[in-house]
Amino acid sequence: MSQSQAVTGNEHWTKKGDAKLFLWEKYVGTPDASKPTVLFVHGSSMASQPTFDLTVPGRADSSAMDWFAQRGFNTWTVDHEGYGRSDKSRDSKFYIADGADDLAAATDYIMKTRGIRKFLVYGISSGALRAAMFAQRHPDRVARLALDAFVWTGEGSPTLAERAKKLPDFQKMDRRPIDRAFVHSVFNRDHPGCAEAATVEAFADAILALDDSMPTGTYVDMCANLPVVDPEKITSPTIIMRGQWDGIASFDDLMKFFDKLPNPDKQFTVMAGISHASFQQINYRMVYHILHSFFTQPEPLYRG
């Protein structure tokens, strides 16, 4: 497929109980259930479109959704309840389990409207935890699972050790305020210099156009309730994508999780020069390549 073909974007809405969820779809040509379908899952502090469909002047391929659509994929993402354009009316912290419920509702809708049966699921940070929990609950819907900036038990995580200092505050409130300085901190806390200033500012603009606060539930879970997923119950082919300088999880924590994954079709990759928000880093094209390679890998014909 030509990588210069125009990409179409469509907004969709579905319900999770009484809550309205916003979904965003991008593709080339016409929707086609025979194409592989990627479901992108966002993290704790930004909605879906800023993360996966970002536009940065002078930075080609800033939209991961466009990049994958131009290579023959259907691409979808969803704003979790409490984020972005989805419903924010309910008094709730919106924990990781709530996010997994959102993914169930989103895939219900996509399966019904587009005839998709299996998804290539990519989650980043708390989105990786949501994606892993969704894969654990709905193995029949996940063809392949990519966990970026993932954490299992939190042991040895400098980011979570620092965040836990504010845990009593997070436990008292449903939402925490965010601003431009907070977005900058995402890129400065682990290894400054991994992202270009123009990209960080465009990312901040897109995030803050939709939200001035974020739910606290994922922070509470990651500081007080880990582990929330069981690797032995995740049966999908899985890749762990770990930024060289990402502080959200230690190597030991991730390797112990990786070792317990039962499917032998699994990979662990270290992304050189990457800290936390991998799609917004200078080395983002390397991240796309790793993910594309895993998502297009042939299934093993011989399994012994």
Q: What is the pLDDT of residues 261-282, one digit of tens each?
A: 999 999 999 999 999 999 999 9
What six digits make up the tokens of 125?
């940070």
- Return the number of other C-beta atoms located less than 10 Å from residue 251's C-beta: 13
Are 28 and 74 within 8 A, CB to CB?
no
Per-residue pLDDT for 1 more than 60?
no
Distances from the Cα of 144 to the Cα of 13, 84, 125, angstroms: 25, 26, 17
Instruction: Give, to the nearest 10 degrees, the angle between helix 96-114 and helix 126-137.
Output: 60
The answer to whether 40 and 3 are in contact (CB under 8 A) is: no
Largest CA distance in the chain: 53
CB 100 within 8 A of CB 61: no
pLDDT of residue 214: 98
Pairing type for strands 19-28 and 37-41 reads unpaired
- CA dihedral of residues 245, 297, 53, 69 (deg, nearest 10): 160
Please tell me the pTM assigned to this model: 0.98
From residue 156, alpha-carbon distances to 22, 97, 260, 289 in Å are 35, 23, 19, 29
Inter-residue contact 146 to 239 (CB < 8 Å): yes
Convert the pLDDT of each residue in 140-176 to its tens digit.
999 999 999 999 999 999 999 999 999 999 999 999 9
Predicted confidence (pLDDT) at residue 2 exceeds the cutoff of 90: no
Cis status, amide bond into 227, omega within 30 of 0? yes
| Residue of 128, 68, 66, 74 lying closest to 103 (CA atoms) | 128
d(CA 134, CA 229) in angstroms, rounded, equals: 10
- Tell me the C-alpha to C-alpha distance, in Å, between residue 63 and each of 50, 209, 216, 225, 296: 9, 17, 27, 33, 19
Taking the CA atoms of residue 153, residue 156, residue 159 and residue 165 in that order, the dihedral angle to the nearest 10 degrees is: 90
Q: Name the 3-class secondary structure at 124.
A: strand
> Would you place residue 110 in the very low, low, confident or very high pLDDT band (cuts 50, 70, 90)?
very high
Which pLDDT score, from 0 to 100, does residue 191 have?
Answer: 96
CA dihedral (5, 50, 249, 183) positive or negative: positive
Topology, domain 7-295: Rossmann fold (3.40.50)
> For the chain, what are the domain ranges?
7-295
Confidence of residue 48 (pLDDT cuts 50, 70, 90): very high
Nearest-CA neighbor of 244 among 278, 274, 276?
274
Angle of CA points 174, 278, 250, to nearest 5°: 75
